[in-house]
Amino acid sequence: MSMKRVLTILLPLTVLSAMLFAACGGSSGDNGGGQSGNAINYSGTITIWHGWQGDYLTAKKAIFDEYQKLHPQVKIQLVQQENVVDKSITAIKAKNGPDIIAWVDDSLGKLASSRSVIPVDQYISADFVNSNYSKAAAQAVTFNGKIYGVPETVEAITLMYNKKLVKESDLPKTTDDLLNFAKTYQQQNAGKYGVIWPTEDAYYNAAWFYGFGAFYVKEDGTVGLNTPQAIAATKYIASFKPYMPKQISGDIAKSLFTEGKAAMVIDGPWSYSDYANKAGIDVGFLKLPTVTSSNNPATPFVGVKSLWITSNAKNPALAADLMKFYTNKENQIKMIKATSEIPANAAAASDSSVTSTQSIAGYAAQVQNGVPLPNTPYMSALWKPVADALTAVWTGSQTPEAAMKAAQDAADKGVKSIQS
């Protein structure tokens, strides 16, 4: 996953109906998470290593400042880091790492396997997590049946369109509809494109793989690239070759949509401000289409920005209390108003102050059809093989069958190297 996506959610939550009853989340002294308030020592320094920047950092810092006001003997140090995960693992081994790591859920398996982060079930129970956060977010902080922290925000790619260029009657509902729209729009608008996305990117195209019934990797390391479902997804992606540029990276896709040369783009919350605010596009939102052959929706990865307690934490009970306070309903709503992210707290996500915002509601709707970005350490062995296969198919150097077989072999080798 690109650093740009990571740092801006990094969104992008949900209005999952099953979670609408959820409580507002923990707060300072809350004992719903498995730790009684009077057992917490509210003193000392909590150091958080993170990747937040700009307005995101400002909004989050305000919440931590409020916690310090409530507990004057607590000091919170926010330290922005490049390569947060790798630096944390090294520092924690040397006993000079942070108390909390704030990053994206696909790194949890690596951090847990290296024992850099620890289970926090005694401070934050599974019941607390499952009842306060959306389903995908709760799953993302659970690894090998243990709770490792709390989710902060969630994000997923979705279909965005330029309302000036697309009639509502032309909005695609199925994968066949989307392909037909790409074809007819280009026929009617020479030199322009109906829909674009980074066709060689493993993250963006997971939506098609999982929608077609395939998967990248399971928690036990099983790779699922050389399957009929994965090959069908690859063929579907390749079917857009006549209707897209020969080279289509994320930056190219963004530029074409920004310039009005593409009617639709598949992208995430990190790009909305550039489209709506900087480019002035009247952006509409539409969930990714249903796969015609299976009637299952395209299923994008749901990235979950999370906070985990490290094995270096001097006061894990305090760190847990801080994380619950940071992600409670009230504080999530305050943050979202400033950052337009999608809250992981289910009660915040369903609050009218959040759902009334078109962009947040649009991304949140897509998350309902998403799957958590795998937090297994084996996921790191999948990104390159999948991207290489998609590139080979898009450029025509390999057939979908040959490309996915090569990807399966490469991913299997990567998984075995991690296991050894």
pLDDT band at 215 (very low <50, low <70, confident <90, very high): very high
For the chain, the straight-line distance linking the first and the last C-alpha, in angstroms and rounded, comes to 24
Both 169 and 227 in one domain: the answer is: yes
Both 128 and 150 in one domain: the answer is: yes
pLDDT band at 368 (very low <50, low <70, confident <90, very high): confident
Q: What was the pLDDT predicted at 278?
A: 92
Both 290 and 253 in one domain: the answer is: yes
pLDDT band at 224 (very low <50, low <70, confident <90, very high): very high
Strand pairing partners for 161?
264, 284
Both 273 and 192 in one domain: the answer is: yes
Tokens of 131: 């009842």
181 in Cβ contact with 194 (< 8 Å): yes
Q: Is the pLDDT of residue 14 over 90?
A: no
- Lowest-confidence segment of 78-87, 309-318, 356-365, 381-390 by average pLDDT: 356-365
CATH value at residue 39 = 3.40.190.10
25 in Cβ contact with 328 (< 8 Å): yes
The angle subtended at Cα 315 by Cα 310 and Cα 321, nearest 5°, is 90
Say what the pTM is: 0.83
Both 82 and 231 in one domain: the answer is: no
Q: Is the pLDDT of residue 142 over 90?
A: yes
Nearest to 156 by CA among 177, 175, 137: 137
pLDDT band at 270 (very low <50, low <70, confident <90, very high): confident
Residue 277 backbone dihedrals phi, psi, to 5 degrees: -90, -50
Q: What integer is the mean pLDDT of 383-410?
A: 98
Among 355, 372, 389, give the residue marking a domain's end.
372
406 in Cβ contact with 387 (< 8 Å): no
Q: Is the pLDDT of residue 99 over 80?
A: yes
- Burial code (b: 16+ CB inside 10 Å, e: under 16) for 303-329 equals bbbbbbbbebbebbbbbbbbbbbbbbb
Q: Is the pLDDT of residue 348 over 90?
A: yes
Q: Is the pLDDT of residue 256 over 80?
A: yes
Among 372, 395, 410, give the residue marking a domain's end.
372
Cα–Cα distance between 206 and 216 in angstroms, integer? Answer: 8
Q: What integer is the mean pLDDT of 102-109?
A: 94
Tokens of 55: 């307005």
Cα–Cα distance between 87 and 313 in angstroms, integer? Answer: 16
pLDDT band at 354 (very low <50, low <70, confident <90, very high): confident
Mean pLDDT of the chain: 90
Both 262 and 306 in one domain: the answer is: no
Both 149 and 253 in one domain: the answer is: no
Both 150 and 162 in one domain: the answer is: no
Q: How far is CA 122 from CA 31, 34, 49, 151, 316, in A?
A: 11, 6, 23, 17, 10
Residue keyed to tokens 């940071």: 326
Cα–Cα distance between 272 and 401 in angstroms, integer? Answer: 36
Q: Count of H helices and E strands in the chain?
A: 18, 13
Cα–Cα distance between 287 and 81 in angstroms, integer? Answer: 34
Among 352, 372, 392, give the residue marking a domain's end.
372
**166-177 pLDDT per residue, tens:** 999 999 999 999
What percentage of residues in the chain have a pLDDT greater than 90?
83
Parent domain of 65? 3-156+302-372
Q: Is the pLDDT of residue 252 over 80?
A: yes
Both 286 and 204 in one domain: the answer is: yes
- Lowest-confidence segment of 32-41, 49-58, 315-324, 374-383 by average pLDDT: 32-41
Q: What integer is the mean pLDDT of 222-246?
A: 97
Q: How far is CA 50 from CA 85, 114, 375, 380, 387, in A?
A: 9, 19, 18, 20, 27
**CB burial of residue 242 (10 Å; 0-12, 13-18, 19+):** exposed
Both 296 and 306 in one domain: the answer is: no
Q: What was the pLDDT predicted at 273?
A: 87
Both 216 and 245 in one domain: the answer is: yes
Residue 64 backbone dihedrals phi, psi, to 5 degrees: -65, -35
pLDDT band at 69 (very low <50, low <70, confident <90, very high): very high
Q: What was the pLDDT predicted at 398?
A: 98
Q: How many structural domains is the chain composed of?
A: 2
Tokens of 209: 């793989």
Residue keyed to tokens 């896709």: 253
Q: Is the pLDDT of residue 129 over 60?
A: yes
Strand pairing partners for 102?
307
Both 327 and 339 in one domain: the answer is: yes
Q: Is the pLDDT of residue 2 over 60?
A: no
Cα–Cα distance between 260 and 24 in angstroms, integer? Answer: 41
